[in-house]
A and B are shown apart, each in its own frame.
Chain A
């Protein structure tokens, strides 16, 4: 019993990263499906290719998640985010390596949002996904992915 208590305490004390430990719950599957659906619009119409990877985060109303990406000068990108349950309002913004916001082409829909960007410089950027509004007090699972060309 004591061993079990120690084990549980250790697990709770571990630094948790949503990127690494969020399980593939129904909400995650649903959020990923919605994000892929949004990104699919850019692949079907504009020749973008969707990266075969995604990032999951659990956000409550007003919370944000910052995620690092490395972009190449001359490439165009769409960063797409979608949440589940699909009740909230999301925003996606992009910052350069100094933390300054960069010009994006914004898109927002219920429970999903995207930011279009053409990189003038290669390097590190930060994608910020914010859950602006959410009717669920428990928060939503947000999936972020991107397409490029």
Chain B
């Protein structure tokens, strides 16, 4: 862990997040209308990015051995199914994570 690099990364993430939150107020608070394209991207990007983030989380899954992909596959399915059934974010996350930890610590060591 490189302290300076870590500080820079946190500042960048915080700065860009703030920029995104303040930009609409700074740019469009007068009479100027928000470009349709920006509105459109803002409405469709969240759906696509969540898909991208799931792939990002699972990027190091490999299909060379059962233990390298099966725990993730099982737990993603469990989280999704549980969420469709109960619609409770905390429940889905906690159950999925605990199951994953049990699987990789005891079953698929």
User: Do chains A and B interact in one complex?
Assistant: no
A: residues with CB less than 8 A from B are none
